[in-house]
Structure 1
Amino acid sequence: MGIAGSDVSKQAADMILLDDNFASIVVGVEEGRLIFDNLKKSIAYTLTSNIPEISPFLTYILFGIPLPLGTVTILCIDLGTDMVPAISLAYEEAESDIMKRQPRDPIRDKLVNERLISLAYGQIGMIQASAGFFTYFWIMADNGFWPKDLYQLRAQWDSRAYNNVLDS
């Protein structure tokens, strides 16, 4: 314990209790589990937006389809709208069963594991990207640009044979 412990034991310890009450260990374990859970939620939320943000650039590179948003716009959206909710997840209250769970296995239980990556990238990210592409193609078709017409359209726009107007 912090007050009665020797200096050698204080230096060797991972955690020092400043009071002589063992109930503070329970509070510390609960707080540690809460921090771990909230960090995991925040990381999962942040990872899900990576696939919808990178997929328009991949379609631009592979198929020449015009970008719906520019690089700076996506960066502003990422910093302006993604970070505030991700930070707010760090301040969530504890789940009701937080102290009823088994202790974490430090080797097996990581903040970012295979299940989280497959859920964030493979499922939620792909659903968001598909919804974004559906909306993009729907709006472009509504304005007269059918999906078949969008293929390699950016190369035509950049060609002097089709466009002799200088970009400002």
Structure 2
Amino acid sequence: MNRSERIGAEVGHPITVSRSRTATTRLSRWPGARMKSGDGVHSLSSMADTATVYVIDRVVTKPGQARVFVDRYLAEYAPGARSRGMTLERVLVSPPIWFDDRSNTVTVTWSLPDPQAWWQMTWRGRPDPTLGEWWSQISELVEERTRSVAAAADDVDILCEG
């Protein structure tokens, strides 16, 4: 009998076990994985309950342009992002000083409550020509930019099951 077949098994790190009154036990390799209880059966929470998706914009500004970039990003880009369902989590400036003669890296983190919301945001933004136009208009402030999508490590298994 393997670990996934044991009922009520208790296993320490690196596996988190959810107990079940049925013949199956759900496992996660992430200690402390969030569990959801319902109808006497415990299982890993559904992706909609726990799997926040983060969108991270990383922008290296041209020398002396970080403050102007942040102001314009928040005033001009952020309202549209909010209308596409994104929630602004934080704006970080590195190093934490407004340089006049050097570049800064601005890292903006947005969140969406679940993968479905991320897909909805993506499909709203793709046909919108104003997004590309906005980035073109501020090109004099930007040396390089990247966007990545991430989730908390303990949510990755849940996302993969979805």
TM-score normalised over the length of structure 2: 0.28
Larger radius of gyration: 1
- Greater helix proportion: 1
- RCO higher in 1 or 2 (8 Å CA, sep ≥ 6)? 1
- Greater strand proportion: 2
